[in-house]
Each structure stands twice: as C-alpha cells, then as structure tokens.
C-alpha cells in the first residue's frame, strides 16, 4: 500500500467523520492532483434534502471548478466507501484518472448495482477499509439505539 | 399514449430547446406531481463546467427542494432522452414513482451501461421520441459543421 494513498484516505476519513458528527451516513471523499488536495466533501443528503448530495458528486463538481474544466483525467479521488451506481456514472463522465476506495459496499456499491467506471480509470480498493467500515457500522448502530 | 404524457413531454422538449440554443447537448426534464410541474431543467454541463449537471440531476434536486423531502415517490419525471447510468442511479435513490422518456440512448443510456432504476419505478418510453431524437441529431450535425 502506498503511503500517499494512506495519507489521502485519512483525509477522506476526516471528511467522513464530519458527516458522522452531522448525522449523515459517514462517507467522505477528496480529490488529489499533483500531490495536492483540490476538493474535499462529505455526504450531505440529509442536510440538503437531496439524494444526489453524495460526497463524490460534490467533490467532482468542486474539482472541476478548481481546474476550470469538467474532465478529471489528471486526478485521483479517494473515497471511504465504494461508490454507488450514480457516483460511478458521474466518475465515468469525468474520465477521472484513478479511484481509490476504502470499504466495499456489497449491496449498493456500483459493482453490485451493475454500474461501471471509465475503462481508463485505474481502481484501487481496500485502503483503510477497516477504519471506514467501522465508522459506518458505528453510525448505523447508533441510529438503531 | 396518454394526452397528459404528451403535454408534459412537450414541456421537457421546451427545456431541451433551451439547452440547444445555449450550445448544450439538448436534453430537458420536468417533474410532475398532482398534475403540476414542480421542477424543470435542461442540461448545463458546458455552462457549469460540470459533468454532473444533467437535466435529470438538477430536476431531482429542485423537486426535492419543492417537496421538502428527498424522496419522489408521488412524482413522474419526463425526460427527452433515456437517462444515463448516473441519472438512473440518482432516480433510483429518489424512489421516483414513474419515469417517462422520449428517445432511446442506445450507447450511453442506463440500459446499455448496466444501470437500473428502482424496482418500484414505472417506466414508459417512446413518447415524442422522434421529436427528441431529431433535436439531438440536429445538435450534433450543427457541431460537425
């Protein structure tokens, strides 16, 4: 595992923690290019009352705004959870260079849902997976109380 | 074909025409509930420099804001083109009651891309399909000149 991958995934996890504290399903994402974070976001579906407000969607919008172009080929997105079909579709359109995600989402992840990323997008999974999965499990356990 | 479906698809086509005039791929969408249009949008990916700014995504956000809730079960979305995998994923999360689209998108539509709508979403296709497809063909023909 690359040290830089661990570092940037920790940044995505910090975003996920912000979501947790706000009562949102704790998923975070950061976009990196040239060793620099150019976008960071966390799930805001509850606060914005909007099913489209996943961390990845916001991060794509932010990164494109930063770059001044809608394609993200030189970028890597770090996400604490496997993207859903919607987010995979958005990442597909962005032609992002690389996606690194932590925990798998066996039920609602894009692979289970039949979605796909762009064929040129490199995918790495499992970076800090336990930390990310534990956070989500804690969230749902706290909701059941 | 229901007269109301034709009427509301004409409204979605009017949105697609606005996109055409703005140099955007001409796709429009409206969301209807109780016989009333509560959201209308067209593709703005170029103007907003954002691959996520499809008509459907904006319409979902607007409709949820109007309703004050993120689920769209009582709504129908009329779209001039078969949704892509991203938009199908967003419609899935919204649990929208019904989707009516005009033209098929054989290459990038959600069926070709492996995406899916919610099992409870009723789907109707082919309403004003020729009008919608012609508009898109005209758009790409004008771009090739």
Q: In this predicted structure, what is the pLDDT of residue B1?
A: 63
How confident is the model over A23-46, as a mean pLDDT? 98
CA closest to A68 among chain B residues: B49
* Eight-class DSSP state of B135: H
CB A76 within 8 A of CB A7: no
CB B122 within 8 A of CB B97: yes
Mapped onto helix, strand or coil, the DSSP state of residue A140 is: helix
CA closest to A58 among chain B residues: B52
- Reference B57, options A77, A75, A105, A48; nearest CA is A48
Q: What is the percent of chain A with per-residue pLDDT over 90, rounded to a whole number? A: 94
CA distance B3 to chain A (A): 30
CB A96 within 8 A of CB A63: no
Predicted confidence (pLDDT) at residue B3 exceeds the cutoff of 90: no
Query: What are the chain A neighbours of B86 within 8 Å (beta carbons)?
Result: 85-90, 92-93
Bridge partners (DSSP) listed for residue A100: A78, A124
- Residues B59-105 have pLDDT tens digits of 999 999 999 999 999 999 999 999 999 999 999 999 999 999 999 99
Q: What is this model's ipTM?
A: 0.95
Contact A90 B52 (CB under 8 A): yes
Q: In this predicted structure, what is the pLDDT of residue A3?
A: 83
Residues of A with CB under 8 A from a CB of B: 45, 49-52, 57, 60-61, 64-65, 68-71, 84-90, 92-94, 113-116
How confident is the model over B36-58, as a mean pLDDT? 98
Predicted confidence (pLDDT) at residue B32 exceeds the cutoff of 90: yes
* Mean residue pLDDT across chain A: 96
Write down the pTM of the prediction.
0.96
Q: Would you place residue A145 in the very low, low, confident or very high pLDDT band (cuts 50, 70, 90)?
A: confident
CA distances from B14 to B17, B30, B61, B84, B107 (A): 5, 10, 20, 20, 24
Predicted confidence (pLDDT) at residue B12 exceeds the cutoff of 90: yes
* Eight-class DSSP state of A8: H
Predicted confidence (pLDDT) at residue A1 exceeds the cutoff of 90: no
How confident is the model over B113-131, as a mean pLDDT? 96
What are the phi and psi torsion angles at A49 (to 5°)? 50, 55
- Residues A72-97 have pLDDT tens digits of 999 999 999 999 999 999 999 999 99
Residue appearing with tokens 């914005």: A48
Beta strand extents in A7-121 (DSSP E only)? 28-33, 36-42, 76-81, 98-103
């Amino acid at each position: 595992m690359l040290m830089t991958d661990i570092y940037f995934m920790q940044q995505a996890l910090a975003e996920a923690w912000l979501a947790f504290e706000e009562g949102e399903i704790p998923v975070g994402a950061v976009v990196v290019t040239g060793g620099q974070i150019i976008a960071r976001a966390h799930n805001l579906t509850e606060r914005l009352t909007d099913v489209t407000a996943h961390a990845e969607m916001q991060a794509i919008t932010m990164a494109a705004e930063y770059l001044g172009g809608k394609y993200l080929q030189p970028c890597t997105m770090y996400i604490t959870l496997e993207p859903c079909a919607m987010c995979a579709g958005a990442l597909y359109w962005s032609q992002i260079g690389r996606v690194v995600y932590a925990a798998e989402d066996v039920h609602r992840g894009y692979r289970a849902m039949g979605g796909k990323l762009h064929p040129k997008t490199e995918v790495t999974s499992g970076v800090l997976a336990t930390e990310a999965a534990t956070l989500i499990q804690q969230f749902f356990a706290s909701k059941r109380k």
